[in-house]
Structure 1
């Protein structure tokens, strides 16, 4: 089935955060109500684009998989001038490194499982962003939740999701693993 779109964006071969960065830029160039098709190969792009569209006020229509290519469909909202929502509680990598062994914190890594497997902070538990809605109840609501991803984008979206679900003390770690110089391990 061929879907009618107004513009196609090629984000194949790009890793987080580039599919979202390119999508944001392209959305500025299309008219309200138009549909953008984003073609990507990054498996994490489905959860990333869906969450980003929601936070930016656009309508995420869905994703069709064709082989290794994910075709995402996003309809531009009429409120393009609205500010994209960002989670207000942010900590940097150095603060996280000093806190990470405390018993009252939970360190959540929302990168894809393959990213986590090859390098992660030893105390981190893995729940990819795309699984967070159905797995959020696995997390201890009484702990301070620090969320890490590669660059701080997915973790921002995850922090918003957990806050919407009633978690009280949620922090986005910026810039995330791309700037992490502390201890790491792998599977």
Structure 2
């Protein structure tokens, strides 16, 4: 699976703290929710970027090593956590864990492809929120649909969209992948 990003920052050949300095400056130009790929050769950049993302509220997605180049992926923070949830059918992560392997269950992961690539529930199908309108017909209307994202906000919007399109038995999973403790799979597995 190719990882889709919104922007690439070339920080190859730069030593600490320059990859962080350039990343901070570049992140200011991104919209909330967009994913930045940072290419660096400084081995310390992995720990540095992960710590910086956490302290600044951005989401560190992971790193892929290709030879001497470290490709770091960071998603710009948004106001997701403070948005009001509106879809009436909400289930917990524990509820999803109990039904995730049922044949009558579909799990739709509406996070960006890069988020999905680094960690997702094995049974989940990736349909990013921005593609849901065009790809909704891929979802079997006869099954119970569980929609998951990072915190429960994008999945809330997706659950509302599906309900408006006539889908029944649609559930928003809260708090979502930010606190998922069940089995996961990643691009590297």
Note if 1:43 corresponds to 2:34.
Answer: yes
**Cα offset for 1:42?**
3.0
| Pairs aligned (count) | 116
In the alignment, which residue of structure 1 is the partner of 2:144?
144
Where in structure 2 are the equivalents of 1:9-158 lying within 5 Å? 13=27, 40=31, 42-43=33-34, 86-158=86-158
Query: Is the Cα contact below 8 Å between 1:13 and 1:42 reproduced in 2?
Result: no
> For the residues of structure 2 that align with 1:106 and 1:138, how far apart are their CA atoms?
11
Gap change, CA 1:179 and 1:85, over 3 Å in 2: closer
**Cα offset for 1:113?**
0.2
**Cα offset for 1:119?**
0.2
> For the residues of structure 2 that align with 1:152 and 1:145, how far apart are their CA atoms?
14
**Cα offset for 1:39?**
6.2
In the alignment, which residue of structure 2 is the partner of 1:184?
184
Query: Is the Cα contact below 8 Å between 1:119 and 1:184 reproduced in 2?
Result: yes
Query: Is the Cα contact below 8 Å between 1:110 and 1:155 reproduced in 2?
Result: yes
> For the residues of structure 2 that align with 1:150 and 1:101, how far apart are their CA atoms?
20
So what's the TM-score if we normalise by structure 2?
0.57
> For the residues of structure 2 that align with 1:109 and 1:85, how far apart are their CA atoms?
17
CA-based RMSD: 2.4
Query: Is the Cα contact below 8 Å between 1:13 and 1:41 reproduced in 2?
Result: no
SS in 2 for 1:40: coil
**Cα offset for 1:43?**
2.4
So what's the TM-score if we normalise by structure 1?
0.58
SS in 2 for 1:111: coil
Q: Which runs of 5+ in 2 are unaligned?
A: 1-25, 36-83
Q: 1:2-32 deviations in whole A, cap 9, x for unaligned? A: xxxxxxxxxx848xxxxxxxxxxxxxxxxxx
Gap change, CA 1:179 and 1:104, over 3 Å in 2: same
> For the residues of structure 2 that align with 1:39 and 1:114, how far apart are their CA atoms?
16
Structure 1 runs of 4+ with >6 Å offset: none
Q: 1:125-155 deviations in whole A, cap 9, x for unaligned? A: 0000000000000110000000000000000
Query: Is the Cα contact below 8 Å between 2:109 and 2:147 reproduced in 1?
Result: yes
